[in-house]
Amino acid sequence: MKLFLPLFLLSTTALFAQPTVPGSWTISGDVQGYAISEVCTFTQTADKIAGSCVSDGKTYDTTVTIDGSKVIFVHGGEYEGKPLTLTYTGTYNDKGELSGDIDVKPLGYDGTFTATKTETATKTETK
């Protein structure tokens, strides 16, 4: 019993430290003076998280990777008709936010972002 309690506390601490990524996120940031504003929606199926991000009225398929408290999501984009790949690498904090860096390839530009989970109201049907 003495060994069980410390192991239980350690396992629950590790569980709560994991990011809760599925859901809708509002992303704001800056890349070389260009404002970034998107809404991303992620879903989880088994151990895979994916979704889409909407930026400037366009929807981009997005892949998500989680490594401890680090969350990386990647999607396409375009600038002046040329294709881009945006990689967001953020750290999940205890406030439920992600913040970190943006890498834009092939331009080699970088920036920063903050993502907050979008609260959705639960509708209750009445009859």
Give, as one character, the DSSP assignment of residue 18: S
How do strand 58-67 and strand 82-92 relate by DSSP bridges? unpaired
Q: What is the pLDDT of residues 51-97, one digit of tens each?
A: 999 998 999 999 999 888 789 999 999 988 999 999 999 998 777 78
Q: What is the pLDDT of residues 3-43, one digit of tens each?
A: 433 333 333 333 444 557 899 999 999 999 999 999 999 99
* Entry pTM: 0.77
Domains located in the chain, CATH noted: 23-117 (2.40.128.120)
Cα-Cα-Cα-Cα dihedral sign, residues 59, 63, 66, 67: negative
